Amino acid sequence: MNVAKPCPTGKTDCKAMINAIKVEEKMQLTTVHNTHNHGLGPPKSHFFRCNREVIETVKMVLDTNDLADIRMNKSFRSLVVGAEGFENLPFFKKDYSNYIDKARHLQLGAGGAGALRDYFCRMQYKNPRFFALMDLDDDERLKNVFWADPSSRATYQDFGDVVRFDTTYLTNRYRMPFASFVGVNHHGQLILLGAWLISSEDTETFT
């Protein structure tokens, strides 16, 4: 009954099941239990995991809202209102957040990720103390990039007592959050200790 936290497929320890094995290119039933310990509601079948789907038209709306920096709760709520109720949506809020997490990656231009990797390889070849880390998602798309040159790493050893972490959101040409690690030297001057391009500003990414 809680609209904010719906649970249309609550567990009742139902034993109904059908099992089958493949025998000589045919499926042979091995277990059949037809008795359910709960009422059946076909109108709610779209809530089952196998039927839940974020369709392409909805993905376009979600991507646009995410680029516009509209909060996930508000974006999902707008979909609920548009569908005239949560029960009319073919997916859960968790499906939405999972899609957004998977869709977020660095929007580099064509060949940008490869060029960046090649550049880091050249820098590490010239000086092994050059450090770079590229974080990929399950589809091998670039999510986050961190790098620190030898000078920054050496400076951190002397002036790493206080570090300022700052993000400049969507101001570069690729509309990607840029983060910098900055310290202060003995002259009171700001010094760059490391740099970062990130796909999203959340706890997991920051960690």
Per-residue pLDDT tens digits for 60-101:
777 777 767 677 677 777 777 777 776 666 666 667 666 666
The three state secondary structure string of the chain is CCCCCCCCCCCCCCCCEEEEEEECCEEEEEEEECCCCCCCCHHHHHHCHHHCCCCHHHHHHHHHHHHCCCCHHHHHHHHHHHCCCHHHCCCCHHHHHHHHHHHCCCCCCCCHHHHHHHHHHHHHHHCCCCEEEEEECCCCCEEEEEEECHHHHHHHHHHCCCCEEEEECCCCCCCCCEEEEEEECCCCCEEEEEEEECCCCCHHHHC
User: Does the structure show a pLDDT above 60 at 160?
Assistant: yes
The pLDDT value recorded for residue 71 is 73
Question: What are the sequence ranges of the domains in the chain?
Answer: 17-103, 112-206
Per-residue pLDDT tens digits for 116-127:
888 888 998 999
Percent of the chain scoring above 70 in pLDDT: 64
- Mean pLDDT, the chain, integer: 77
User: Does the structure show a pLDDT above 70 at 46?
Assistant: no
* Average pLDDT estimate for 28-41: 85
Listed as own residue / partner, the contacts of 53-62 with beta carbons closer than 8 Å and 24 or more positions apart are 53/90, 53/91, 53/95, 54/90, 54/91, 54/95, 54/96, 54/99, 55/90, 58/91, 59/99, 59/103, 62/96, 62/99, 62/100, 62/103
